[in-house]
Amino acid sequence: MNLQELANPNMGVFAAIGGVAALAALGVVAFNNAVRSALCLVVCFFMLAFLYFTLSAEMIGILQIVVYTGAIMVLFLFVIMLLNLGSMKSLLEERDPKMIIGGALGLAMAALLGSQVIAPLASVTEPRSGEGFGTPQSVGYSLFSTYLYPFE
């Protein structure tokens, strides 16, 4: 795969959605308020569903929205609001050198991991999926024929 194929619009949309999902996941662990963290998790779940849509797996994307965003997150928000969790002391108020060193090491680790992920993309070939890949019919047929025993 050359640089021109990497610069196609689908790759750009995929990278943008992935970036928003990563920022939302960062917001889940960064916010002190539990409700804000849960809402960031909802955004992250929606972005993951959109990633599934861009990969032509519409069935998995719909299941992601219905099961995780629709059911589990409603339960999480209900429990958070029932417990009435208040925000705790902000981590930014205490400027501990350990936090600065940990943040710098985290950024270095992310840069190293990013370089190891991006470098092999030049040799990736684009897989071709079948005509009915990801449709409810093909998923149902696979679940109840080929994968019936593991599914049960």
Please give the backbone phi and psi of residue 84, each rounded to the nearest 5 degrees, phi first: 55, 60
> Considering the domain boundaries, does residue 77 fall inside one?
yes
> Considering the domain boundaries, does residue 100 fall inside one?
no
> Considering the domain boundaries, does residue 121 fall inside one?
no
The CATH number linked to 65 is: 1.20.120.1200
Reply yes or no on whether the pLDDT at 56 is more than 90. no
Q: What share of the chain is helix, strand, coil (3-state, %, to 5)?
A: 75, 0, 25
User: What does DSSP assign to residue 70?
Assistant: I
Alpha-carbon gap, residue 128 to 123, rounded angstroms = 16
> Considering the domain boundaries, does residue 95 fall inside one?
no
Predicted confidence (pLDDT) per residue in 92-144, tens digit = 566 678 878 888 998 999 888 888 877 776 676 777 777 777 778 888 888 88
**Domain count of the fold of the chain:** 1
Question: Cα angle vertex 107, ends 106, 111, to 5°?
Answer: 120
Please give the backbone phi and psi of residue 86, each rounded to the nearest 5 degrees, phi first: -95, 165
> Considering the domain boundaries, does residue 26 fall inside one?
yes
Predicted confidence (pLDDT) per residue in 32-48, tens digit = 888 888 889 989 999 99
Predicted confidence (pLDDT) per residue in 73-104, tens digit = 788 878 877 876 655 555 556 667 887 888 89
> Considering the domain boundaries, does residue 122 fall inside one?
no
> Considering the domain boundaries, does residue 105 fall inside one?
no
Alpha-carbon gap, residue 61 to 56, rounded angstroms = 9
Domain membership of residue 31 as a residue range: 1-86+132-152
